[in-house]
A and B are shown apart, each in its own frame.
Chain A
């Protein structure tokens, strides 16, 4: 089955940019989606289709996807961005949803 690999943790100072990666074999051929999950809450979609932004999500959130790595970029990180972030793809060949292992973003 398809595997998405995320670093367990990323730390960034307030106001800086955070880059959260999601690795997978030829992930550039997939449409990648990102979710933010705060403790005790359900996940919230923050980026869809590699770099789309749902209504209500700040412009500080953006994404890219190429080759073997997709990246969620959060510019001007704020304390409120501290959360777990998950990437997700749909393996259309198998009609199978895959989530990455998640990255805990810590704002220093």
Chain B
């Protein structure tokens, strides 16, 4: 059974750096073709893809946020980490991590609501 779960702070202040972890089980991020992505959803708004990391450590970022995002993986811990710098109230959203082995997202975490407020 594949599971993913997001963890991290639910409240951050403007200008701070957000660090989120995606802990997963039921698959290996060392397996060829596997990738984990981060997607966010502001309250009442649409899904927005942020970043992706592949089994071979290749990374892809949303161009408009590339300067603020870093995605890394710890295969031994079955975790993917997303950091986002210089947080702004507009970054308030539910952040999801999801598994992809193809160009679609097979399985999603439950999401974590992150609020940016002073």
Contact-residue size bin, chain B (C-beta under 8 Å from the other chain): 20 to 34
Task: Judge whether A99 and B106 touch: CB under 8 Å.
Answer: no
Given known A96-B60, A97-B52, contact A45–B105 (CB-CB < 8 A): yes
Contact-residue size bin, chain A (C-beta under 8 Å from the other chain): 20 to 34
Given known A96-B60, A96-B62, contact A86–B103 (CB-CB < 8 A): no
B-chain residues with CB within 8 Å of residue A92 when the two chains form the complex: 103
Binds A, one of B8-16, B22-30, B42-50, B75-83: B42-50
Task: Judge whether B104 and A42 touch: CB under 8 Å.
Answer: no
A48 CB within 8 Å of chain B? yes
Closest to A47 in B: B104
Tell me the residues in window 59-108 of chain A with beta carbons closer than 8 Å to chain B beta carbons.
86, 88-90, 92, 94-102
By a beta-carbon cutoff of 8 Å, the part of chain A in contact with chain B is: 1, 31, 33, 35, 37, 42-45, 48-49, 54, 86, 88-90, 92, 94-102
- List 20 A–B pairs whose Cβ atoms lie within 8 Å, in order of A's numbering: A31-B104, A33-B103, A33-B104, A35-B47, A35-B105, A37-B47, A42-B108, A42-B110, A42-B111, A43-B96, A43-B108, A45-B105, A45-B106, A48-B102, A48-B104, A92-B103, A96-B49, A97-B49, A97-B103, A99-B39
